[in-house]
Structure 1
Amino acid sequence: MDQADNMMNLPRPRWPLQEIAVIGGTWEDDLAIAGGYLRVAEICATHWSRNGPDDSLPVPILYNYRHSVELSLKWLIRVAARIVRRGGYDTHGMNLERKKVEGKLRGDSHSIRKLAERLNTYLVLISDLNPPNNRIDDESMETLHWLDQQDETGETFRYSMIGRGGGSRPARPTPTNINFYEEVNKVHLLAHLLQAGYSAYLDHFEELQQEYLEEMRKP
């Protein structure tokens, strides 16, 4: 390998053990992966902010934030559905069995709007959650709607062309000046709120629910 090839390599970690990464296992769920996408987005957004404008970065940055948001919403939906099932709450005729919920998530696919609406629907069923804790807050919903408008199908931030066959079209046909900092910062705050705020709240609620039911089963 010549010197030019060496210059293209990533910097090698200082210690051999630092070269090892662990992927997979029981710890790896959508929330864990969402945290990774959030970290990547934050590193890149911070680089963009500190090192001057680089127009090649905003779309990939938004993609990573958006995917973090999508995965966090899916994790929250699964937890909310488990809480409803375990607690025996009135589902008003909705089937929240695990396979049915997974099918709904596949149907919602990459739609941020549909995922946010589904989460709100499931949270309302948990009657022990009092307003405003039984729905996504208004400011977050506003940012979620903005994110959905920018990319309704999960394609716009991934490709330069969207759609299929004869219906394909440019994702961004006209150059547009945006205040990228203001827009991405809103998504940044939203992603963190879902990752560490709503998730921690629901996770704690589920733990308390499990402890309560275990106590109730004791003779």
Structure 2
Amino acid sequence: MDKEEELLNLPRPRWPLHEVAVLGGDEDDLTIAGGYLEVAEIAARHWIERGPNDGLPIPILYNYRHSIELSLKWLIRLTARCLVRGGYTKENLSSDALNKKLHTHNIKKLTDRLNRYMDLLGLPEPNNRIDDASQNLLTWLDSEDETGETYRYATVGHGLNSTPARPHQVNLNFYEQVNELHKLAHLLYGGYSGYLDSFEENQIEYFADLRHEEQEPW
């Protein structure tokens, strides 16, 4: 290997075992959301610590946004399972039907669906919907990137309808913006997921106890 080729290589891990990555298997949207969140945070901290690099903000925003999108989808799947387990039948929430409903990158649609399902679960107020501060930030995020293309490409749309994603230069306080997204992504990934996961565990335990009582001889 010549020196030029060696310079292009990533540094090799200290131990051979660390060269191995495990993909697939027991994997869901929340698992991948956590990965995007960690990548976003690493890049954001690099931007903060090493000084401004205008090539990083858009990829950083994309990674935070995609983590948020995947967390919302995971939360929707969980609340849908709970609704089905609780006997809700007014909407087709089978796996196939839900996959079609979640075939979108639109943050507003996902947020509205999650709020609706949380309310249908009968959760006590104000825990029956996303908190107001997070809701406002999700609304802003949707207005900035409605289709999931704005933070991915320099051009959005197709053919004659394509337009520059950022037609005008804008100077903004990126730290304040990304810090708010950072907190929101963590809240969805670790906060709402923990709360609703506990709800599901309690629901499963409740129905298990109910079946046990029904089978008990008198």
Q: What range describes the TM-score normalised by the shorter chain of this pair?
A: over 0.9
Cα offset for 1:94?
A: 2.7
How many pairs are equivalent? Answer: 213
Q: How does 1:24-43 map to 2 (within 5 A)?
A: 24-26=24-26, 28-43=27-42
Name the structure 2 match of 1:11.
11
Q: Which of 120, 127, 142 pairs up with 1:125?
A: 120
Tell me how far apart the structure 2 counterparts of residues 6 and 214 of structure 1 sit (CA, whole Å).
Answer: 59
Q: How does 1:88-167 map to 2 (within 5 A)?
A: 88-89=87-88, 93-106=90-103, 109-127=104-122, 129-167=123-161
CA displacement 1:87-146 (0-9 Å, x = unmatched): 124x6x33323322221111xx1000110000001111001x100111000000111011
List runs of 5+ in structure 1 lacking aligned partners: none
- Runs of 4 or more consecutive aligned structure 1 residues displaced over 6 Å after TM superposition: none
TM norm structure 2: 0.95
Tell me how far apart the structure 1 counterparts of residues 140 and 6 of structure 2 sit (CA, whole Å).
Answer: 43
Cα offset for 1:77?
A: 0.2
Cα offset for 1:188?
A: 0.4
RMSD: 0.9
Counterpart amino acid of 2:139?
Answer: H
Tell me how far apart the structure 1 counterparts of residues 94 and 18 of structure 2 sit (CA, whole Å).
Answer: 42
Tell me how far apart the structure 1 counterparts of residues 66 and 98 of structure 2 sit (CA, whole Å).
Answer: 20
Counterpart amino acid of 2:155?
Answer: M
Name the structure 2 match of 1:179.
173
TM norm structure 1: 0.95
Cα offset for 1:148?
A: 0.7
Tell me how far apart the structure 1 counterparts of residues 10 and 78 of structure 2 sit (CA, whole Å).
Answer: 38
Tell me how far apart the structure 2 counterparts of residues 126 and 160 of structure 1 sit (CA, whole Å).
Answer: 41
Name the structure 1 match of 2:197.
203
Tell me how far apart the structure 2 counterparts of residues 61 and 148 of structure 1 sit (CA, whole Å).
Answer: 16
Q: Percent identity?
A: 61
Name the structure 1 match of 2:59.
60
